[in-house]
Amino acid sequence: MPRIAEACGIKGIRVESASEVDEALQTAFATDGPVLVDVVVASEELAMPPQIKLEQAKGFSLYMLRAIISGRGDEVIELAKTNWLR
């Protein structure tokens, strides 16, 4: 992504570990003009909304149930490890 940003004439920064986030954000905020900060996260990482609605919880629960029933319980375990068992 940083190369795409730079091809468009803006600064691009790629972050691959949590230890790089602070420095990347400081650089981004110190830069005049727009900056694209590309942060790599685990594919199972959940993006939590500020407030969880009932429909969202219901949909997530159905996804997990369907994954287990269809033999993809390993996905549910990875999801739990990535998001809740840190």
Over residues 22-58, the pLDDT tens digits come to 999 999 999 999 999 999 988 788 888 889 999 999 9
Q: How many domains does one find in the chain? A: 2
**Can you give the pTM of this predicted structure?**
0.60
Q: Is residue 80 domain-shared with residue 49, that is, in the same domain? A: yes
Q: How far is CA 13 from CA 21, 24, 67, 73, in A?
A: 10, 7, 35, 36
pLDDT tens-digit profile of 70-83?
Answer: 999 998 898 888 88
For residue 10, give every residue at least 6 positions away whose Cβ sits within 8 Å of its Cβ, in sequence order, or none: 33, 34, 35, 36
Q: Are residues 50 and 26 in the same domain?
A: no
pLDDT of residue 81: 87
59: pLDDT strictly greater than 90: yes
Q: Is residue 86 over pLDDT 80?
A: no
Query: Domain span at residue 69?
Result: 43-86
